[in-house]
Amino acid sequence: MVKIGPVTLPDFPLLLAPMEDVSDPPFRAVCKDKGADLMYTEFISSEGLIRDAIKSKKKLDIFDYERPVGIQIFGGDEESLGLAAKIVEVTQPDLLDINFGCPVKKVALKGAGAGVLRDIDLMVRLTKAVVQSTSLPVTVKTRLGWDDNNKNIEEVAERLQDVGIKALAIHGRTRVQMYKGEADWTLIGKIKNNPRITIPIFGNGDIDSPEKALLYKNRYGVDGIMIGRAAIGYPWIFNEIKHFMKTGTHLPSPTIEDRLAVCRKHLRYSIEWKNPVVGINEMRRHYANYLKGLPNIKEYRNKLVTLKTEEELCEVFDEMARVYQGFTFEKTPISLINYHENCPID
């Protein structure tokens, strides 16, 4: 078992990464159903929480079926982060995570997210302010450093552990890299093997197949893996990795029935969480990912992104189930999209 404070996870847990404008409650519900062991909310601006911004407050929504679940906050001011931590605690998540990894310019260049990697003393003070403001276990997600000349994650890991964090998730790129090139897990493995480090270390970056998950588990010795972009449109990756690690064999590819069932479930949760109009509109961005690989789908895709009622959409799902019955999806590599390019921020 892996322990994050009082939170107990199974051996080698698979975590769903916090992804802005992606990992909302409906998406998390689907990933939980498909094997995610621990999930995080979209990141929430500490300043937005303090000024009671509607969008920030809405991101605090968590549900019992998601547990264990963490709420992630970001910011560059000690007092604001401390106050935000107190607000978060009222919603009773299982843990609180600090984002020191978001590479988006309008976050990083304002001294938050991965921007804090340029000032490790500030990062330590910010983390300490959060730890001292809440009884929740505090975790951190970050990157290797600001750029190739400043990969200071080894120092970061020790110092953040010293001020009280209970786990650390590390993306194997610098801020300057964004999502270019390959993620380098070498330093992640080095931190895990540092005898001073006693907290769980989770690796993140480019895990897009069961084979790579097992390879990186064995090569770097991490306590678990955090999966982000690979789960967009393909939540089955969690159970596929677990099955492969246990048996050495692959689960069958999800069928058209499996994919449409996820579309229905995601749509229903989206409508319930917000309302029919907003829920249906926000679901539209997910269909192309869930149904990738189907031939001659343009007509159906056009319907899915224009119809306005759940009943009409379910009729399209029913028709697609009949038309594509027996269709076999090819086992193709998961495409890791760079969703951060147009990442909306509070």
Active site residues: 102
Query: CB pairs under 8 A, 24+ apart, for 252-261?
Result: 253/328, 253/329, 253/330, 253/331, 254/329, 255/327, 255/329, 256/294, 256/320, 256/321, 256/324, 256/325, 256/327, 256/329, 257/321, 259/290, 259/291, 260/317, 260/320, 260/321
Q: Which of 82, 86, 55, 88 is nearest to 69 (CA)?
A: 88
Write down how long the chain is.
346
| Helix/strand/coil percentages in the chain, nearest 5 | 45, 15, 40
Give the bridge partners for 97, in sequence order: 72, 139
Residues near 239 by beta carbon (within 8 Å), at least 6 away in sequence: 34, 35, 251
- Give the position of tokens 């992606």: 22
Q: What is the CA radius of gyration of the chain?
A: 20
Q: Which H or E run includes 342?
A: none
What is the end-to-end Cα distance of the chain in Å, rounded? 36
Q: φ and ψ at 45, to 5 degrees?
A: -70, 130
d(CA 168, CA 140): 5
**Do strands 2-4 and 7-9 pair parallel, antiparallel, or not at all (unpaired)?**
antiparallel
* Cα 245 from Cα 221, distance rounded (Å): 14
